[in-house]
Amino acid sequence: MDRIDAMKVFVAALDEGSLAGASRRTGRSPAAVSRAVAFLEAHVGVPLLHRTTRSLKLSEAGERYAVACRKVLMELEEADRSAAGERSVPHGTLTITATMFAGVEILRPIVDAYMDAFPTVSVRLHLLERAVNLIDEGMDLALRITHLPDSTLVAQPVGEVRRVVVAAPRYLAAHPRIGEPADLAKHQIIAMRHMGPESWSFPPLDGSSVPRAIAFTPRLVVNNVRAAIASAVDGHGVTRLLSYHVATEIRQGQLQVVLADAEPPRIPVHLVAPYGRLSVPKVRAFADFALPLLRTRFASLAKDLEMAPTRPIPPRRGRMSAG
């Protein structure tokens, strides 16, 4: 059996999460997929996968081998592309990653339009709420909304977002005024598990270099952006999210920004790729296609926030829900 073909099957099994998935993806029989993995295990002399009836788990050696396989296959693709030269057209499978909300709301429509424009390219869109190593995990591109460390990634800026504190106008009308971060201690907090479940940090006061950390005991902690938005819109408390998360609700007057003067510096948004990947036609085509659309989208979201109505919605009659 050809070792490169076996590597392709092995990586397909990891991407699909099962040998059956690898069979569907590669068009090989389940028996052929099993033989390919067994061939690699016999070649390296150690088990690569722990198999169950429903899932696969890499062994310690398998984790190292998977990284090496992805690099080998990527270099082979680069070699094919280089040999094809300028005649090469975008084709194959493009892998992109983003966070769940950004992927669904911002990136997914652009991916759909890209596939319409380039019918010879398929896309795998991985929406993950964790840091992704693009090289080790075989990703071509990522939409990153964070301050980027120095790295070998090639980053192309597409916009900025704000970290905003918001609440429903009717909640604000029924509770003490929020004029400074310390006032949050008097309020019901809806916290995101990965964005400060017990304290929020704000820039230092004038004359100080120490950021202000406002501690609280949240009424609600969630790990889903939409859940936090819905609870805040329903008047159950104050939450802190990124501006693109709540731009629609702010524009429609369902949420209102507070503490705008105490916001941290804006967070940059980039489309990033491993060094050298932008020379691959399918990756370059997506970057050229997506960058203007992403920049327009983030500029529109920023404008929506700046032009949002500020007049409070009258509080509901009767007793206010405490969430």
pLDDT of residue 309: 57
Poorest-pLDDT segment among 37-46, 96-105, 313-322: 313-322
| 182: confidence class by pLDDT, cuts 50, 70, 90 | very high
pLDDT of residue 141: 96
**Mean model confidence pLDDT for the chain:** 87
Q: What percent of the chain has pLDDT over 90?
A: 58
**Amino acid symbol at 176:** P
pLDDT at residue 314 tops 60: no
| 140: confidence class by pLDDT, cuts 50, 70, 90 | very high
Q: Provide the token pair at 93.
A: 């499978």
pLDDT of residue 315: 40
pLDDT tens per residue, range 98-117 = 999 999 999 999 999 999 99
Calpha distance 301→281 (Å, rounded): 30
| 268: confidence class by pLDDT, cuts 50, 70, 90 | very high
Q: Give just the sign of the alpha carbon dihedral 115, 121, 122, 127.
A: negative
Strands 141-145 and 267-273: antiparallel
- Asked if 141 and 96 touch (Cβ cutoff 8 Å), the reply is yes
Q: Provide the token pair at 288.
A: 């050229």
Calpha distance 132→70 (Å, rounded): 15
pLDDT tens per residue, range 219-247 = 999 999 999 999 999 999 999 999 999 99
| 323: confidence class by pLDDT, cuts 50, 70, 90 | very low
Backbone angles phi, psi at 153, to 5 degrees: -75, 145
pLDDT of residue 190: 96
pLDDT of residue 304: 78
Backbone angles phi, psi at 95, to 5 degrees: -110, 130
Cα distances (angstroms) measured from residue 15 to each of 31, 55, 69, 138, 214: 18, 12, 13, 9, 42
Calpha distance 308→108 (Å, rounded): 25
Q: What percent of the chain has pLDDT over 70?
A: 91
pLDDT of residue 275: 83
Q: Provide the token pair at 153.
A: 């990634």
Q: Provide the token pair at 182.
A: 């310390």
pLDDT of residue 194: 79
The rounded Cα 9 to chain-centroid distance in angstroms is 27
Buried b (16+ CB within 10 A) or exposed e, 272-289: bbbeebbebbbbebbbeb
Kindly report whether the global pTM for this prediction surpasses the value 0.85: no
Q: Give just the sign of the alpha carbon dihedral 309, 310, 316, 320.
A: positive
pLDDT tens per residue, range 54-65 = 678 888 888 889
pLDDT tens per residue, range 10-27 = 988 888 888 888 888 888
pLDDT at residue 82 tops 90: no
Rounded to the nearest 10°, the torsion over CA 74, 78, 79, 82 is 170
